[in-house]
Amino acid sequence: KQEVTQIPAALSVPEGENLVLNCSFTDSAIYNLQWFRQDPGKGLTSLLLIQSSQREQTSGRLNASLDKSSGRSTLYIAASQPGDSATYLCAVITNAGNMLTFGGGTRLMVKP
């Protein structure tokens, strides 16, 4: 059974810092990995999707990397802003099925 873990569970940083959120998964036979953002009172918004054959994806100040063999992904946020404050979740699809398995999320607060 695939298990996805995110560390840390919560993170507070001053505005302007570069930061890294971590995601690990136990079954390396994944189809893809996705990073989501969740704002209070709202649903999840997909940020980046990395196919299993890819090593990284970039969107603006966000960069997600994937190391399938070690079961790890990182989400790098450059020059953090207060508007980046949210919960970030990673999720994987294993090759054996078509369902997403989510991590517990990292709650990020960026202080002005």
Query: Given the rule CB under 8 A, which residues bind other proteins?
Result: 4, 6, 9, 31-32, 34, 41-46, 49, 51, 89, 91, 93, 98-100, 102-105
What type of residue sits at position 109? Answer: M
CB of 42 to other proteins, least distance (A): 5
- Parallel/antiparallel/unpaired status of strands 44-51 and 4-7: unpaired
Q: Closest approach of Cβ 55 to other proteins, in Å?
A: 17
Smallest gap from Cβ 67 to other proteins, in A, equals 20
77 alpha carbon, distance to own chain's centre: 10
Check: CB of residue 97 under 8 Å from CB of residue 91.
Answer: no
